[in-house]
A and B are shown apart, each in its own frame.
Chain A
Amino acid sequence: MRLGGSKTRLFLMTSIFLGPCILIIALFWISPVFSTVFLSFTDMSLRRPEWHFVGLRNYEYIGKHPFITKVAINTAIYVSATLAWNVLVGLFLSLLSFYVDDRSSLLFRALWLLPRASPPVVYGLLWLWVLDSSEYGLLNQLIMPITKKPIPWLVDYAMPAIIIINGFIGASFSLIVFSSALKAIPPDYIMAARVDGASELRIIKDIILPLMKWPILFVTAWQTLSLLASYEYILIVTDGGPFYDTEVWSLFAYHQAFKHLELGFGAALAMVLVIVALIIVLIQMKVFKFRRMITPVKIEHT
């Protein structure tokens, strides 16, 4: 067992070691929730000298806002589509690289990590160039021999664009998780199946995938929350897209708070997001039994 000291000694050491961390979390993670609740009941704005408590007026305005349904639908589409891409493409690629020699596999994974490691501003710039509406954009250069005219990608296909842009980032995360999960599968299982004459596809279907259940669920859970809260890349590339086309909830809240300088209204929008996120977390915890979340990559023997 642990060689402790006296109880007070232990307490002192604990406070020194854990204290700063807990303080930071309390200040920057916990208290913000309370401040946001508080702010959402006021009409605080950087544009006006005083603020007052306005009760539920901000929330009413959310309901009445002419574009709130569009924003909600955008968010739903964006989260589900990008999630699907992240998980499926990540899974697909990790499976593929499973069958490739180690060096190439490492190379591919490294390349896929590049977008994630780059500064978001630069990554956004690269996509802005690819999707440029003029004839100098990369996609247009490739397509113009066929279509003759450049296509304004960020106007007509804004939503698919941001799905893919965020998708590359998210897929790299799932790629890592799945790859390490695959590596953790005892090779004997697969060898045995091969010796028994099973085709590779069978092996994937019956052995590998079931063993990947928990990593897949973990990635899904984690990424759903990430996507719900993500808006940085969207801000850089389309900033809400032509006319609310790519305005997702978190971006909408950001615009309200920091472009229109309405902190109270922005806080109300953020609160709604928190509630939705909490609901999702609760559902996930129930479905996955939270202990499993703490050990995400442990392969369960089914």
Chain B
Amino acid sequence: MSRRVEIKVKRSIAYYKVKKVLVKAVIYGTLTAFTLPIVIMYAWLFMQSVSEKVLLGFIPSNFTIKGWRFLWQSIKFGEVILPPIWPIVLNSLIIAGGVTIIEISIALLAGYALSRLNVPYREPLLLLIIALHAFPGITLLIAIFYLLNSLGLINTLLSVIIAKAALEIPMGTWLIKGFFDAVPWDIEAAALVDGCSRLKAWYKVVLPIVKPGIAAIAIFAFLAGWNEFIFAFTFILDHRLYPLSVHVYQLIGEFRYIDYTLLAATALFYCIPPLVFFVITQKAFMKVALVGVRGA
């Protein structure tokens, strides 16, 4: 190659390399820029819960544990004594647990049926589940309130549990159905040939294979119950039955401007289970999302 061409080629390679780096930088930069607000917001939550004042959003100053005192003592505001936190946590636990149990039981059964049995109404049912998403939540809320009121269930934790579970079940069923679909028919057939009843085959052979799916909807259900706000806010009137979501909501009105530290600490405390689940399940969740969404 002549000298000239060599230089030209070298230059264009260099140019190409620089361009590549530049483009990569822009891409990373843009992604970071878009994600920055989220990072800052959550960083603030952590920082504010342990510092008196927070500078410029997330630089803590005056480290203190005072914000976390609600864990072991009552908070006084004027003459009002705020309720202790632990019964409230228990309420949230009950709601979350209840939703999980109900949803798992019902979704597992239904998901399997939709996946396996040659049920004559399979397709329309599937369509129904998707169409259900079209129903505005507020419509359901008013009617469910009326229904629960007639049953005398308003102002109980059960009302929130049932309502939330009922609304989560279609999605959960669809999700677990995807998992059931992925189980090869041969395994089941083999079990049936070996003399198992349909039920036994399902229980002993198929279920263990879809364990990741069960775990997935269990987590979703638990989080759905833990995070639930509207139902609790609307159905529960007795202050002893408030879950954490309603408690934090009321704190926002009371403690903003006065004690951000306490507010941030309580909010962060409330956020712990979702955050923990979130971190633990990152990889698994991604996989699940891909598998589940693939559909029939």
Contact = CB atoms under 8 A, between A and B. Distances in A.
Nearest to A2: B118
B81 interface: no
Contact of B40 (A99, A104, A117, A138): A138
B241 interface: no
B147 A31 contact: yes
A129 B139 CA distance: 31
B227 A118 contact: yes
Interface stretch (B2-10, B65-73, B285-293): B285-293
A235 B138 CA distance: 12
B249 interface: yes
B41 A126 contact: yes
Interface stretch (B31-39, B83-91, B205-213): B31-39
Interface residues of B, number: 95
Contacts, number: 258
A191 interface: no
- Report whether over half of chain B's contact residues are helix, strand or loop; otherwise say mixed: helix
A280 B128 CA distance: 15
Interface in A89-120: 89, 93, 96-97, 99-100, 104, 106, 108-115, 117-120
B109 to A, nearest CB: 4
A294 interface: yes
B22 to A, nearest CB: 13
Contact of A108 (B31, B167, B289): B31
Nearest to B128: A25
A28 B146 CA distance: 11
Contact of B142 (A14, A29, A231, A266): A266
Interface residues of A, number: 97
A236 B143 contact: no
A220 interface: no
A138 B290 CA distance: 36
B1 interface: no
B39 A111 contact: yes
Nearest to B235: A258
B25 to A, nearest CB: 11
A106 B147 contact: no
A144 to B, nearest CB: 11
Tell me which of A120, A125, A180, A226 has the highest count of chain B C-beta atoms within 10 A of its own C-beta: A125
Nearest to A171: B34
B130 A294 contact: yes
Interface in B95-150: 105-107, 109-110, 112-114, 116-119, 126-128, 130-147
Contacts of B139: 32-33, 36, 267, 270-271, 273-274
A294 B127 contact: yes
A236 B169 contact: no
A126 B45 contact: yes
B293 A177 contact: yes
Tell me which of A20, A110, A112, A118 has the highest count of chain B C-beta atoms within 10 A of its own C-beta: A118
B248 interface: yes
A277 B146 CA distance: 22
A281 B143 contact: no
5 contacts: A14-B113, A18-B109, A28-B162, A99-B27, A235-B230
Given A27-B166, A36-B143, 12 more contacts: A25-B170, A44-B146, A100-B31, A112-B35, A114-B38, A120-B227, A122-B270, A141-B57, A180-B289, A253-B138, A257-B145, A271-B139
